[in-house]
């Protein structure tokens, strides 16, 4: 008489809920995930636009892609083991703060590729990775024309009108104003090409004491 475990195992196998993995399938899936992860790695490294590049985060993207593929392979091969793994992963909490919202997109990109490669959809994983990379590179190249800077200007009352005219050409957005005795301090966002000489134009305005400009990356 068959035991309950044997009956359950046969039923699961008949339903196709258990796959017998081969070494070739595992290696090809992990290799595909690694190749896609490396593509994401180089796209992130070459076209990074933040203030401080983190090599550790770039390596994490590759590891996340391969590890996700490994998890998907495991879940697809054994129903019972997959339930235990889902329960274990549900209690994991990550406390590291992501400074740049775009980094979250790269992590999701790696996870999505890992899931696709782990499921055995190799052409789709490679094509989707290439397509997303091209879209990101396109937006990066287009956005390199003009960049956002924060400018802090100290000036007297007599320079108010002339300074406003200069800032209008840079499509400025006022952040705030402060006044110290007879000196005004303005903080504004300006958007223009990096090689622009607008800082010299601002300091040349009569009544402007000083102007400091810092590139704004959103961090």
- CA-only gyration radius of the chain, Å: 27
Render pLDDT for 51-63 as a digit per residue (tens, 0 to 9): 567 888 889 899 9
Render pLDDT for 67-114 as a digit per residue (tens, 0 to 9): 888 888 877 766 555 555 555 555 555 556 666 778 888 888 998 898
pLDDT score, position 90:
54
Q: Which of 6-10, 106-110, 196-200 has the lowest mean pLDDT?
A: 6-10
Confidence of residue 43 (pLDDT cuts 50, 70, 90): very high
Q: 34 vs 217, which has greater pLDDT?
A: 34
Q: Which fold has domain 147-215?
A: Alpha-Beta Plaits (3.30.70)
pLDDT at 115 over 60: yes
Task: Report residue 180 CA to chain centroid gap.
Answer: 41
Question: CA-CA distances (angstroms) from residue 110 to 46, 77, 96?
Answer: 17, 22, 18
Q: Which of 83-87, 174-178, 185-189 has the lowest mean pLDDT?
A: 83-87
Question: CA-CA distances (angstroms) from residue 78 to 31, 38, 66, 96, 143?
Answer: 21, 29, 19, 32, 46
Please state the domain extents for the chain: 4-143, 147-215
pLDDT score, position 180:
80
Angle, helix 55-77 to helix 79-89, in steps of 10 degrees: 140
Confidence of residue 18 (pLDDT cuts 50, 70, 90): very low
Render pLDDT for 126-171 as a digit per residue (tens, 0 to 9): 999 999 999 998 888 776 656 677 888 888 878 888 888 877 777 7
């Amino acid at each position: 008489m068959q035991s309950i475990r044997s009956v359950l195992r046969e039923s699961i196998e008949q339903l196709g809920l258990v796959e017998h993995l081969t070494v070739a399938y595992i290696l090809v899936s992990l290799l595909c995930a690694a190749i896609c992860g490396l593509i994401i790695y180089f796209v992130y490294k070459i076209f990074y636009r933040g203030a401080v590049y983190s090599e550790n985060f770039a390596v994490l993207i590759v590891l996340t892609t391969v590890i996700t593929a490994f998890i998907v392979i495991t879940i697809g091969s054994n129903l019972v083991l997959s339930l235990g793994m889902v329960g274990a992963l549900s209690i994991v909490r990550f406390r590291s703060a992501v400074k740049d919202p775009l980094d979250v997109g790269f992590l999701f990109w790696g996870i999505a590729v890992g899931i696709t490669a782990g499921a055995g959809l190799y052409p789709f994983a490679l094509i989707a990775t290439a397509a997303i990379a091209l879209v990101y590179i396109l937006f990066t190249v287009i956005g390199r024309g003009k960049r956002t800077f924060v400018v802090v200007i100290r000036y007297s009352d007599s320079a108010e009108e002339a300074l406003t005219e200069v800032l209008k050409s840079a499509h400025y957005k006022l952040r705030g104003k402060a006044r110290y005795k007879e000196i005004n301090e303005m903080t504004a966002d300006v958007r223009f090409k990096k090689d622009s000489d607008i800082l010299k134009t601002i300091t040349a305005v009569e009544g402007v004491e000083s102007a400091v400009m810092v590139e704004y990356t959103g961090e």
